[in-house]
Structure 1
Amino acid sequence: MKGIIFALLGGACITLQGVANSRISGDIGTWQAAAVTQLTGCILALIILLFARDGSREGFTSVKPLYRIGGALGAVIIFSEVTSIQTIGVTFTISALLIAQLCLTFIVDLNGWFGMKKRKISPAQFIGIGMMIAGVVILKF
C-alpha cells in the first residue's frame, strides 16, 4: 500500500511540476526552467538528506557511473515535457509520458537491464498498454 501511495504522490507531482515548468519557461526559457527545477530539486534533496541521514557518504562512490546520469536525464525530461505541454497540452503530454514509461519498463523488465530481475510480460499486460494507447487516441479525437 505504501508503494501505491508514493506512486500516486509522484505522479501528481510530475503533473504539477510539468505545468509549473511550462509557466516558468514562458517567462525565462525552457532550458532555464529545467536548470531552476533541477537546482531547487537538488537543494531540497540535500536538505532532506541532512535530516534523514539514511545512508553513508561512501555510498556515493559505490554507484556505477552509468547510473549517475539519472539526474542528468531530468533536464531532458523537463525540456521534453515543457515543450510537449506547450504544444499539445497537459492531458496529452501526461498520457504520452505514461505510455512511453510503460513501454520502456516492459523492455527493461524483459531484458533485466540496470540489474533488475528479468520478468516475463503477460498477454494481459500487452492488451493493457494497447488499451491505454487506444484511449489516448480516442481522447485526442
Structure 2
Amino acid sequence: MRGIIFAFLAGGFITLQGVANSRISQDIGPWQAATVTQLTGFLMALLIVMIVRDRKWKNFKGVRPLYLTGGSFAAVVIYGNIFGIKEIGVTLTIAVILIAQLAITFLIDGKGWFGVLKQKMRLPQFIGIGMMIAGVVILKF
C-alpha cells in the first residue's frame, strides 16, 4: 500500500514540477530552469539524507559508473516537460510522457535489462498501452 501511495505522490509531483518548470522557463529560459530544478532537488535530497542519517555512503563505491549517470537524464526530462507543456499543454504532455515511460518499461521488463527480473508481456499489457495511446489520440482532438 505504501508503494502505491508514494507512486501516486511521485506522479502528482512530476506534474507539479513540470508546470513550475514551464513557468520558471518563461522568466529565465528552459536550460536555466532545468539547472535551478536540479540544484534545488539535489539540496532537498541532501537535506533528507542528513535528517534520516542514512549511513550507506560507504556503498557508493560499489555502484556501477553507468548507473551514476542516471541523474543526468533529468535535464532532458525537465527540458522535454517544459517544451511539451509550452507546445501541447499539460494534459497531453503528461499523457505522452506516461506512454513513453510504459514503452521503455516494456523493453526493460521484457528484456531483463539493468538486472531486473525478466517479465513476459502478455496481451492484457499490450491492450492497456494501446488504450492509453488511443486516449492520447482522443485528447489531441
TM over 0.5: yes
Query: Do residues 86 (structure 1) and 86 (structure 2) align?
Result: yes
Deviation per residue, 1:21-75 (Å, 9 max, x gap): 0000000000000000000000000000001123422111111111111110001
Give percent identity, aligned residues only. 61
User: Normalising to structure 1: TM-score of the pair?
Assistant: 0.98
Deviation per residue, 1:51-102 (Å, 9 max, x gap): 1123422111111111111110001100111011100000000000000000
Amino acid at match of 2:78: I
List runs of 5+ in structure 1 lacking aligned partners: none
RMSD of equivalent CA atoms:
0.7
User: Normalising to structure 2: TM-score of the pair?
Assistant: 0.98
- Measured in 2, the distance between the counterparts of 1:21 and 1:58 equals 34
Q: Secondary structure at the match of 1:57?
A: helix
Question: Where does structure 1 differ by over 6 angstroms across 4 or more consecutive aligned residues?
Answer: none
Find the counterpart in structure 2 of residue 63 from structure 1: 63
Query: Do residues 26 (structure 1) and 26 (structure 2) align?
Result: yes
Find the counterpart in structure 1 of residue 74 from structure 2: 74
- Measured in 2, the distance between the counterparts of 1:2 and 1:30 equals 34
Amino acid at match of 2:108: V
- Measured in 2, the distance between the counterparts of 1:77 and 1:60 equals 24
